[in-house]
Amino acid sequence: MSDSTRAAARVPVEERLFSLVLALVATESGLTKDAILSTVQGYRQRFSAGGDNASLERQFERDKDDIRDLGIPLETVTPPEEDGNSQNTRYRIPKGEYDLPGDITFTAEEITLLGLAATVWREGTLSGESQRALMKLRSLGVTEIDPVIGVAPRLRTREAAFEPLRTALERHVVVSFPYVKPGDASARVRTVAPLALVQHSGRWHLYATDMDIDERRTFLLSRMVQTPRSSGRTFDVPDDAESFAETALRDLDRIWQRNVATVRAEPHTHAWFRLSRLHDAEAIDDDVFRLHFTDINILADEIASFGPEAEAIAPPSLRAAIVQRLTRTWSAHSGAEEKQ
């Protein structure tokens, strides 16, 4: 692994996404893909001018999906004279989406306090690398729109299992953790040799060799009910180490493509807005969407959380999972009311 690849691997995903959002908010006309990959923190370390950047472009495509999943409106702009030439497509985030409504005002004292808080937040969260990347964008003629606050707090944080697993990956150490599979009533301890950490559909997964069955498996970090513990044993990394992340993402993509759901949402509600922004969501009608998913239980949790705003039409297993969750919630609240 080259020094530049190691450096890129050390850039936290939140910083890469924040740097991308920062760059796209800071430009009125938008940035081309090459400009993004060559200047934005988290991409530029692996960018090869005139070389093969296929894996980096795939990462950029996944990051775009994650940004849109967060509800951030990422737009693509193609000049009319360049229609059909994707190399000149520009990406931007319209600043107007983050402007405060006109009927909200602040006193002079409130503005002062907000300004001080914004300065502390911005200086504390932008690393030196991100600030240098912003300087490079300025050198390309991009004039930033200040302030650019109000973006990073919307980015997801990692699960508690992430850092211990990343350390185990770097040191090639076997770890164990209690893990709850969908449908299981209790957790079972898994002992694994970590091979890759990947983000898919906005969620972190561990690709690892399950030591008990000597087979490779993918584990969702949010299902690890306790922080992974190091066994102290090391393992030899297989020869195909460079392909682990690509293999895991390819497997997850295959599952995601295969699983399709049809969901109805009340127009212009929170559920309608969220579902319409999901990656590759297809509007069948004004209030019906066709969605892809990797985990039926996660999708059931999300749709159930919308209450009467959303209803699963298909598949039947998704409807059953949602009914089970709503019934459990109703029973829990009914019991609480009877005791009062």
Calculate the dihedral angle through the C-alpha atoms of 152, 71, 315, 328, rounding to the nearest 10 degrees: 60
- How far, in Å, are 203, 268, 293 from residue 300 at the CA level? 15, 21, 10
- In angstroms, the first-to-last Cα distance of the chain is 63
Residues 198 and 205 sit within 8 Å (Cβ to Cβ): yes
| Of 253, 292, 295, the residue nearest 275 (C-alpha) | 292
Q: Can you give the residue ranges of every domain in the chain? A: 3-154, 162-247, 259-339
Q: What is the pLDDT of residues 127-167, one digit of tens each?
A: 455 555 555 555 445 444 444 433 333 334 457 898 899 89
- Tell me whether the omega of the peptide bond preceding residue 315 falls within 30 degrees of 0, making it cis: yes
Which of 252, 186, 243, 250 is CA-nearest to residue 219? 252
Q: What integer best gives the mean pLDDT of the chain? A: 79
d(CA 254, CA 250): 6
- Peptide linkage before 228 cis (omega within 30 of 0): no
The token pair at 252 is 């997850």
Q: Determine the Cα–Cα distance for residues 320 and 324; give it in Å rounded to an integer.
A: 6
Name every residue whose Cβ is closer than 8 Å to that of residue 196 and which is 6 or more positions away in sequence. Answer: 169, 206, 207, 244, 245, 247, 248
Segments of the chain scoring below 50 in pLDDT: 1-9, 120-127, 139-140, 142-157
Tokens 């949790």 appear where?
301
CA dihedral 22, 25, 30, 34 (to 10 degrees): 10
126 backbone dihedrals φ, ψ, rounded to 5°:
-85, 115
Cα–Cα distance list, 134 to 18, 47, 225 (Å) = 12, 16, 39
- The predicted-structure confidence for 74-126, as pLDDT tens digits, reads as follows 888 876 665 555 667 888 888 766 556 666 666 666 665 665 555 544 444 44
Strand ranges of the sheet holding 90-92, from the earlier edge strand across to the other edge = 31-32, 90-92, 75-77
> What residues form DSSP beta bridges with 260?
292
